Chain A
Amino acid sequence: MQPDATRIANIVTAAGAQPEVETTSLGVLMRIPADSVHDVLNALKAEGFGFLVDLFGTDTGEQIEMTYHLRDFGRDEEVYVRSSLPYDGALRSVWDVYPAAAFPEREAAELLGMRLDCHPNPRRLVTTEGCPPYLRKEVPVRGAEEVRLR
């Protein structure tokens, strides 16, 4: 299940990024700079991690973190790749590495209010024009008073 962290780190380094390796309860997590995500995922895919389990963005309160959860069916291993983006940053699409990323990226970009670069169809997916980026921490949910008054 959990891969050898140094092997993954070597793959990532060979792809031109200096990873910070974290071994948490989650498994092996690689923190890499945002501009090298595309190359790193390409390298990891060539090394067997051919399955994108999930891709999501998180607003940590200071920046946006994109997490890519990859799986290798052959070795039965999983690895997480995480990159940080500033709030006004642009998300570089990885749909040409993992075609499955196309929808989740659109969703993440619109719900976190980011630009989406190099995507074949960078339209809004789940909300309409004028909706705020709901998953940002600064966009609150409705309060009890507003709900009660309806």
Chain B
Amino acid sequence: MTIDPRTDVPPAGEMLGDTHCPVPDTLPVGLDHVPTGVDREQAEHLIVNFGPQHPSMHGVLRILGELDGEEMISGEVNIGYLHRGIEKLAESRRYDQVGTLLDRGDYIAGIHGELAFAMATEQLAEIEVPERALWIRTLVGEITRISSHLLWYGPMGLDAGAMGQFLYAVRDREMLLDILEAITGARMMFNYIRPGGVLRDLPAGIERKILEFLDHFEKMLPEHDDLLGGNEIFQLRTKGVGVIDRDKALAYSLTGANLRASGVSWDLRKDRPYAAYDKVEFDVPISNEGDIYSRYLVRMEEMRQSVRIIRQVLDGMPEGPHTAKVAKVLRPPAGEAYAAVEAPRGEWGIHIISNGSDNPARMRYRPPAFYALQVVEDLIPGTLLADMIVVAGSMDIVLGEIDR
């Protein structure tokens, strides 16, 4: 067969002659292997590793992707690069010490983990929490929710190719961290909510500082929204991408904003009221599309609602003690308790099995992002490579709580 190179260009991979000649036993000097080129039967798809060090992965997530050109055929999520045994270590900690571990679980919104653990311990030990402590818990919880959503909104835009909103998000988050530092004493690792109440009362003059922030943030929130959500490129990249319908969301046990963006109205603050959420008014935003853009809209609206809640909490804050009288070393009776809070990432549950000693016999930490991550694996087939990163970013994953 003769080939005219101008007309008969063989398609890539077509064999021009017989390849069944025997391979010589000794290669010519200077050659290490037979120059066969790429075996297209075997190497049709590219296997690509993202992470654990990858600039657009949130933390140390690793995704193994099978690529056909730019389209992903399949993917596998690999975690454990931050596995540090929070559940195991809790078995050798006292009840007031476990909060330090939980802070470092979901390190962006640690206060919700402390709250869930404190609530579970209070159920076990039957501690009555004073009214003021409940309101302070609501206050710090909502401040943390805004700061967590800001740290979702900034890097999520980075994934979609925008940069400016990250700097604005960090700017506003600094103000929130100042407030949290004034209340709890730390910027990130609070250990503020203890079984029985909170560690200390609100500092004098904090209301003014919070109101200052709220005034600033209410002005800025539309700007944040315009900057990212109003951007046409962002909308094109997120509308109709990464769609999680209602059935899939429920099958994969999504919670929080991810579930609400898929059209299920379930918010523990409304449906299982804890702290002072039954005494404040707020709406639960829901979207039915289930795509990335609706997750964006739901989280933005949640920030608006958080501002509303904080204003009401500041108005209605009762006087009284900030903590109940609790023994130095808690020894709850043997039994089990499950308490869950609506953390920014979803239902953060704490299941304690107590055997009556100083330490929990078993503490199970229900990580919302762990369940959300499985959906990413499910959504990967068929999406484009660049979209996969936005999909993973839109689920608001924090590796600290996924690996625990």
Q: Does A touch B (CB under 8 Å) in the complex?
A: yes
Interface residues of A (CB under 8 A from B): 1, 24-26, 50-54, 56, 58-59, 67, 69, 73, 76, 98-100, 102-104, 121, 124-128, 134-135, 141
Interface: B76 (CB within 8 A): yes
- CB neighbours of A59 from chain B (8 A): 362
Which of B88, B253, B337, B364 is A51 in contact with, Cβ under 8 Å? B253
- Whether B123 lies near A25 (C-beta < 8 A) is yes
A126 near B403: Cβ-Cβ < 8 Å:
yes
B366: interface (CB < 8 Å): yes
A141 touches B88 (CB 8 A): yes
Contacts of B124 in A (CB 8 A): 25
Taking A25-B336, A54-B366 as given, write out 12 further A-B residue pairs in contact, using a Cβ cutoff of 8 Å, ordered by the A residue number.
A26-B335, A52-B253, A54-B349, A59-B362, A98-B251, A100-B252, A100-B374, A102-B374, A141-B85, A141-B88, A141-B89, A141-B92
Chain A contacts for B403, CB-based, 8 A: 126
A-chain residues with CB within 8 Å of residue B88 when the two chains form the complex: 134-135, 141
Give the interface size class of chain B.
35 or more
Distance from A120 Cβ to chain B, minimum over Cβ atoms (Å): 11
User: Do residues B371 and A100 form an inter-chain contact, with CB atoms below 8 A?
Assistant: yes
Determine the main DSSP class of B at the interface with A: mixed
Nearest residue in A to B251 (C-beta to C-beta)? Answer: A99
Distance A59 CA – B336 CA, assembled complex (angstroms)? 15
Residues of B within 8 A of A (CB): 76, 78-80, 83, 85, 87-89, 92, 123-124, 250-253, 264, 266, 271-272, 335-338, 347, 349, 351, 353, 361-362, 364, 366, 370-371, 373-374, 378, 403
Chain B min CB distance to A56 (Å) = 4
A121 touches B337 (CB 8 A): no
Please state if A104 and B370 are interface contacts (CB–CB under 8 Å): yes
Q: Is the CB of B336 within 8 A of A26?
A: yes
